[in-house]
Amino acid sequence: MPKHRITDEEALAFHVDPTPGKFEISPTVPMTSQRDLSLAYSPGVAVPCEAIAADPSTAYDYTNKGNLVAVISNGTAVLGLGNLGALGSKPVMEGKAVLFKRFADVNSIDIELDTEDPDEIINAVRLMGPTFGGINLEDIKAPECFIIEQKLKEEMDIPVFHDDQHGTAVICAAGLLNALHLSGKKIEDCKIVLNGAGAAGIACIELIKSMGARHENCIACDTKGVIYQGRTEGMNQWKSAHAVNTELRTLEEAMVGADVFLGVSVKGAVTQDMVKSMADNPVIFAMANPDPEITPEEAHEVRNDAIVATGRSDYPNQVNNVLGFPYLFRGALDIHARAINDEMKIACAQALAKLAREDVPDEVAMAYGKKLSFGRDYIIPTPFDPRLIYMIPTAVARAGMDTGVARRPIIDMEGYEQSLKARMDPTASILRGITARARQNQATMIFAEGDDPHVLRAAVQYQRNGYGRALVIGRQDNVRELLETAGLGDAVRELRVVNAANTENLDEYKDFLYGRLQRDGFDRHDVHRLAARDRHVFASLMLQHGHGDGLITGATRKSAYVLDRINHVFDARASDGAVGVTALLVKGRIVLMADTLVHEWPETEDMADIAERAAAVARGLGLEPRVAFVSFSTFGYPKSERAQKLHEAPAILDARGVDFEYDGEMTADVALNPEVMAQYPFCRLSGPANILVVPARHSASISVKMMQELAGATVIGPILSGIDKPIQICSTNSTSNDILNMAVLAAARLGEKK
């Protein structure tokens, strides 16, 4: 599978569009009326203020403290970039904040402190303690990070966690538990070599020792060599704690007979000769970023019995901190913990190790394009495993309660686990599955409108993100000029630009088109003009003749016009079974609206057809279809001729014997709100509908636009379904990212007639 390439221009554009930065703050209470404002601020706010002053623990009840973490840095050790300063670190800290939200529904604020003085940082963070439920320190260089963390742990009564240290240590420990399980070794018997005695390295060795590794069996190395008792050069109190009585002086010497290598150092620090000298079934965690101390290929070339992990996502066994910190804090916050202690970190590591040994859900396998099972290439769970959100925090919370750091222990652990499952955004896994299928299919995608900069940017992103090959319809000079203007001049060499006027296949295309249109009043001249000059028709002809695998169009012309052009080549009319289905993603829910593109005013039979096509799209998204025929009437009341076809459509599906849930007619609140639906116990839907079939295209369009503008819904589509080839039509206000999303849907063959 191709590796992804992200350009500087793409990275900058991602941080600019649609608004600068990566997150915003939204209220969780109504703020519309004078009463709302009076309750939110003066005078109503006085009541919780007095309650908290009387009992500080109620701050967790009346404020957001219990689900708010500060991500704090001074920018002295930013990723692999070094000392960029406080402001230079802000994009990374914003990124950490959105990871907290994405993976564990933890609200987070980034705070960049413009000082390198540890005392100033300690004082600033300590003074902010009342605001937050936890503190995540990030990208602060050693040894200052040790001083800052230790002092804050002593002075604050909320969890303080330096992720560069302990996050890496937790994931490393989880992987090591499973690697030793596979190799049949016990941690207390293993000779362990660490290279890199900075923040992460020392945290790794300390956690592993607390899990049973013996001090005398752990050899730590830095740039000066082995850290041995009596060494004075380049030493500090944290390194000294791990000095051992040994005659070994170099990493090369230490590696002889080693069972485990842990690297948090630099590229190339480990040679193949060092790997050869290790014990049987060696465990190699080469975690230097962006390039490991030794690559898995290099290690396996000399030792096929080695178990290798790195920090990179393009190799198996990624040591990824996102597996740890969101869930550690989730569990700690939910028990109102005073700290995150070693027992909680060990519980996290053990839960991660246990999860990797269990069967992997199909949705995870689909997202990664391969079946995963516990073994040498799968000792650490993947970051997108949906079980992480409810398995890891529960283990952390239990450990926190057992060790006495919980202010508010959880009584109903089963109920807690269910509440964690409810926090998971199902739309993320759905979109991830589509993306994985697209990458696996490696479709050659035809982008019909090569004279539009948004389309060109999407085509470049499609190819550079590893989805497949991008073909652009246009003139070479024009495409080059537009790409250069967009700052993507280097992409001209990557894209294949196809000019309709001089393609070698034009005669073949015209013959086919004349055969389709000759009895519809088109002569040879008309057909030539369509095939050679209309990019929508030409692109459709390319797709029809197998010169591409999918088609993206519509960004520059209205959908009705584009659909008419496509119909010259394909059978894409309502009478042919074509349907447009729009996906609405809002507040962790996904609802499909149909028909939003093809049927102007569907009749009863059409309603049933639309439901079937929409159900097929839903299953393509990984949803189990639940169709509601939506009207202003609910199950016959009020009676109206306008609602009659929606009332009759379920009977047609009954006769067809379809294999999905459906019912109607009903109002939108009955379809979507389980409490309202419960008032109709005879309703055949087992839960809220995820497909709404509406009376006509105009009502579908109005509904979609209102959800987009008033509710902030993310809109994907309309997804054109029921055609022999993958064709997707964008809207004329599409951004490059919208166009890319439609290309991914086409590449995943969503909506294609089976």
Strands 589-594 and 626-630: unpaired
Give the full edge-to-edge strand order of the sheet including 192-195.
225-226, 218-222, 192-195, 260-263, 283-286, 307-310
Element (H, E) at 710: helix 697-710
Rounded to the nearest 5 percent, the helix, strand and coil shares of the chain are 50, 15, 40
β-pair partners for 244: 228
Residue 200 and residue 226 in contact, taking contact as beta carbons nearer than 8 Å? no
Instruction: Compute CA distances 58 → 50, 51, 53, 132, 652, whole Å.
Output: 10, 7, 9, 14, 57
CA–CA separation, 344 vs 396, rounded Å? 5
CA–CA separation, 731 vs 288, rounded Å? 44
β-pair partners for 318: 310
Residue 472 and residue 495 in contact, taking contact as beta carbons nearer than 8 Å? yes
Instruction: Compute CA distances 275 → 172, 226, 254, 651, whole Å.
Output: 19, 17, 11, 69
| Helix segments in 130-222, DSSP class H | 144-155, 168-183, 199-210
Give the CA dihedral 699, 703, 705, 709, nearest 10 degrees: 150
Q: Does a cis peptide bond (omega within 30 degrees of 0) precede residue 130?
A: no
Q: Which amino acid is it at 556?
A: T
508: left (phi over 0), alpha (psi -120 to 50) or beta: alpha
β-pair partners for 445: 470, 550
Residues constituting the chain: 754
CA–CA separation, 31 vs 740, rounded Å? 36
Among all residues, which ones are annotated catalytic? 41, 96
Q: What values do phi and psi take at 110, rounded to 5?
A: -90, 140
**Which positions ≥6 away from 747 have C-beta within 8 Å?**
437, 438, 441, 443, 445, 462, 467, 468, 549, 550, 726
Kindly state the tokens that stand for 464: 């550079």
Q: Map tokens 């529960």 to a residue.
A: 394
User: What DSSP state is assigned to residue 361?
Assistant: P
- DSSP assignment string, 99-136: HHHHHH--EEEEEE-----HHHHHHHHHHTGGG-SEEE
CA–CA separation, 677 vs 403, rounded Å? 45
CA–CA separation, 353 vs 367, rounded Å? 21
Does residue 612 sit in helix, strand or coil? helix
Kindly state the tokens that stand for 729: 């039509």
Does residue 630 sit in helix, strand or coil? strand
Strands 589-594 and 579-586: antiparallel
Closest to 473 (Cα-Cα) out of 552, 526, 546, 530: 552
Does residue 498 sit in helix, strand or coil? strand
Closest to 434 (Cα-Cα) out of 700, 660, 726, 712: 726
